Amino acid sequence: MGASAPQRRAELVERFRELKDCRRCALAATRTNVVFGAGNADADLMFVGEAPGFHEDRQGRPFVGAAGKLLDKLLAEVGLDRERDTFIANVLKCRPPNNRDPLPEEIEACKPFLLEQVRLIEPRVICTLGRFATTCISGRPEGITKLRGRPMAVEVAGLPVTVYPIYHPAAGLRSGAMLTRLREDFQRLPELLAAARPTAVSGPAAGPSEAGTESAPAAPEPAQLGLFG
């Protein structure tokens, strides 16, 4: 910590430009666009999902499908706005073919970019959506069913943060019971955001970035840049 919000935002935009043509893993061959992430570059709350899906890959923006709409709705129910109050990114910045699970080597290749985003945005709360994001950020081996709804203090990219695992919104689209749990878990977000940054942490689960700088397909750069509040 130490850089001003405008400095950190400028650096984030720079990372976005560098990542546009990343070829660090095999997903570069099948993606349409790198989906860097979007939202307020100085948000206290970061959401971390798994990977872009079909629509995200086409549009180059995170959570634009039905799951994204549910996320917006659940945020609104607790008085939060996606663009004003959050930054949303995924563990993988490129879509796995047919939305298959991320492979360990893909997570390993892409994780430094996520950690760099955490370092620059400096969130106090990271809400992990589903199993892959929770394991990636917290380092905890337990499944999402066990960890869901339980905030934990973790060092992420050298920063003490409250990591709050919840189900992925896509689960809430498939089951009414899951939607009820998701809604319950969203209700706690304002309380977590009102709390101070944790001091004692269980980490480090993740070190600071060694994110590389590989670059550039023709992507919707202005559209994504416009989403960095």
Positions touching ligand SF4 (CB under 6 A) are 19, 22-25, 27-28, 34, 92-94, 106, 109-110
Q: How far is the CB of 154 from ligand SF4 (least distance, A)?
A: 22
Nearer to ligand SF4, 72 or 221 (CB): 221
Radius of gyration from C-alpha coordinates of the chain: 16
Check residue 24 and report its DSSP letter: S
Q: How far is the CB of 185 from ligand SF4 (least distance, A)?
A: 27
Q: How are beta strands 86-90 and 38-39 bridged, if at all?
A: antiparallel
Q: How far is the CB of 63 from ligand SF4 (least distance, A)?
A: 17
**Overall residue count recorded for the chain in this entry:** 229
Q: Which residues pair with 165 in a beta bridge?
A: 128
Nearer to ligand SF4, 109 or 156 (CB): 109
Q: Terminal CA-to-CA distance of the chain, rounded, Å?
A: 19
Nearer to ligand SF4, 102 or 172 (CB): 102
Cβ 35 vs Cβ 52: under 8 Å: yes
Q: How far is the CB of 57 from ligand SF4 (least distance, A)?
A: 11
Q: How far is the CB of 33 from ligand SF4 (least distance, A)?
A: 10
Nearer to ligand SF4, 16 or 164 (CB): 16
Nearer to ligand SF4, 97 or 226 (CB): 97
Nearer to ligand SF4, 34 or 206 (CB): 34
Q: How far is the CB of 85 from ligand SF4 (least distance, A)?
A: 26
| Contacts by residues 213-218 (CB-CB < 8 Å, ≥ 24 positions apart) | 213/18, 214/18, 214/19, 214/21, 214/22, 214/23, 214/24, 215/17, 215/18, 215/19, 215/20, 215/21, 215/22, 216/17, 216/20, 216/21, 217/20, 217/21, 217/33, 217/34
